[in-house]
Amino acid sequence: MLRRALDDSFPEDVRRRITTLTVARTTANGCFRFAPPFLATIAHGNGTDLAGLGIAVAISELSGLLSPFNGEIVERLHRRTAMALGLAGVGVGTMLAAGSVHPAMFAVALIVLAQSKVMFDLGLGAWISDRVPFAQRSRVMGLTETSWALGLLLGVSAMGLATALTNWRVGYGLGAAAVIALAGYVARTLPADSGAHTSADRPAREPVSVAAVAPLMIAMFCLMASSQVLFVTFGSWLDDRFGFTPATLSAVAFGLGFGELLSSLLSARNADHWGKARSAASGAALMVPAAAGLAIWHDQLWIGLPLLVVAIAGFEFAVVSAIPLTTEVIKGSPARGMALGLGAGTSGRALASIPATRFYDSHGMAWPAAMSCGLAVLTLLAFTRLHRRRSTGAAAGQPR
């Protein structure tokens, strides 16, 4: 289905496999994204409150600091192996989450889930980077990134409906079954790849230049932190303030996922042409007024909820546009570059989770929304600076 969005200038292998790999990533993202909207429900099942489970989420996000080590592993594996192992690990982590009875156990489950998803994401990103030139990479990665939105639109919605009919443990169990089945399918159907990363005589790795990677890492840190503040609080906000149930939260997740899907497709269509850093800055610019408006009108559902959708859509456009930049930040090592970007982003999410949930418990939705706005401003400044820097490089013949 997705292959129709790629013309004959893209490799046939990529066109043939893109739908399968996007479906697999959709299931993994559904499992990963299930917790934030239902955090209050899961907290009750684990005998704690929202702030207590916020600590568990923060601990799991801090495991993102392991992403660079994960990247080193993926660079030495066949891309198929990395993707299959990653999907299987997501299934194991999801089953552990379903069986958790304490915040500490839930944190361990999320760590397994998160780092396994990182392995799959790095394997997929490196597989694409091995085959698609940087100038065309936003199109392919943008299409696979629709899985982030579809994970919420379809995955979380389905798991949420299972939760509404039974309980959140069954919701997690449904996700685990789907992702394990797809792990087996990917392992059986994707052909073994070849390339420098699979040979005994790998090219010498280039040293990481702090000056080259720091601006992008700062931008990814602030962007992910800004979105996390909203993700870990909006479910409780809608529940506490407006009486939303798991079923109605699933409907909201569907709406958010639809907005993210449109943003992913828009980025896939235009980021290569507009410039990847410029596109990411545009997404952050959309988040700023939306989060500020949510801080002001959080007591008005008919205003606050659409603003939440706009803020999340802006985030999605920004992050989808930015991910191809990470594959090129370390020449010849796309998995290592992506791992650094993911490490910076998950660190931002981790550091944002605890204050966001505590601000919400103490002051309601106004403070988390204001915090998201401030972080979005920093993201806008970082990507704008990066765009200017890359524009100067483009004038000298470097890719944007």
Residue 50 above 80 pLDDT? no
Give the pLDDT confidence score for residue 285 in this predicted structure: 97
Alpha-carbon distance values, 374 to 223, 288, 303, 340, 368 (Å):
10, 8, 20, 23, 10
Tell me 151's DSSP state. Answer: I
Tell me 38's DSSP state. Answer: G
Residue 324 above 60 pLDDT? yes
Residue 275 belongs to some domain of the structure: yes
Six token digits for residue 69: 């080590």
Q: Quick one: pLDDT band at residue 288, thresholds 50, 70, 90?
A: very high
pLDDT, mean of residues 271-286: 94
Residue 253 above 70 pLDDT? yes
Residue with tokens 């410029």, as numbered in its chain: 278
Q: Quick one: pLDDT band at residue 4, thresholds 50, 70, 90?
A: confident
Residue 397 zone, left/alpha/beta (φ > 0; ψ -120 to 50; rest): left
Residue 220 belongs to some domain of the structure: yes
Q: Are 40 and 236 in contact (CB under 8 A)?
A: yes
Residue 259 belongs to some domain of the structure: yes
Give the pLDDT confidence score for residue 200 in this predicted structure: 43
**321-337 burial code (b ≥16 CB/10 A, e <16):** bbbbbbbbbbebbbbbb
Give the pLDDT confidence score for residue 270 in this predicted structure: 93
Number of domains, the chain:
1
pLDDT, mean of residues 314-336: 90
Q: Closest Cα partner for 39 from 228, 166, 293?
A: 228
Residue 7 belongs to some domain of the structure: no
pLDDT, mean of residues 194-222: 67
Q: Closest Cα partner for 144 from 32, 243, 51, 5?
A: 5
Identify the weakest region by mean pLDDT among 100-114, 165-179, 194-208, 317-331. Answer: 194-208
Residue 400 belongs to some domain of the structure: no
Q: What is the pLDDT of residues 10-42, one digit of tens each?
A: 999 999 999 999 999 999 999 998 988 888 888
More confident of the two residues 387 and 246: 387
Q: Closest Cα partner for 341 from 327, 321, 320?
A: 327
Give the pLDDT confidence score for residue 372 in this predicted structure: 97
Domain assignment of residue 173, given as a range? 13-192+206-395
Residue 246 above 90 pLDDT? no
CATH number, position 315? 1.20.1250.20
Alpha-carbon distance values, 73 to 32, 122, 125, 219, 277 (Å):
21, 10, 14, 25, 28
Q: Are 215 and 339 in contact (CB under 8 A)?
A: no
Which among 66-70, 74-78, 92-96, 329-333 has the top mean pLDDT?
Answer: 92-96
pLDDT, mean of residues 65-79: 85
The distance from CA 255 to its chain's CA centroid, rounded to whole angstroms, is 17
Give the pLDDT confidence score for residue 393 in this predicted structure: 60
Alpha-carbon distance values, 143 to 137, 266, 280 (Å):
10, 10, 16
Residue with tokens 């990481």, as numbered in its chain: 208
Maximum distance among all Cα pairs of the chain, rounded to whole angstroms: 62
Residue 195 above 70 pLDDT? no
More confident of the two residues 58 and 222: 222
Give the pLDDT confidence score for residue 248 in this predicted structure: 87
Which among 70-74, 83-87, 159-163, 332-336 has the top mean pLDDT?
Answer: 83-87
Residue 329 above 80 pLDDT? yes
Q: Quick one: pLDDT band at residue 204, thresholds 50, 70, 90?
A: low
Q: Are 34 and 199 in contact (CB under 8 A)?
A: no
Look at residue 34 and give its three-state secondary structure: coil
Q: Are 125 and 323 in contact (CB under 8 A)?
A: yes
**356-395 burial code (b ≥16 CB/10 A, e <16):** bbbbbeeebbbbbbbbbbbbbbbbbebbbebbeebeeeee
Rounded to 5 degrees, what angle do the CA atoms 111, 372, 378 make? 100
Give the pLDDT confidence score for residue 276 in this predicted structure: 93
Give the pLDDT confidence score for residue 202 in this predicted structure: 47
pTM value surpassing 0.75: yes
Tell me the percentage of the chain whose pLDDT exceeds 70: 93
Residue 197 above 60 pLDDT? no
What one-character-per-residue DSSP string does 171-223 give? Answer: HHHHHHHHHHHHHHHHHHHSPPP-SGGGSSSPPPPPPPPHHHHHHHHHHHHHH
Give the pLDDT confidence score for residue 3 in this predicted structure: 80
Residue 178 above 90 pLDDT? yes
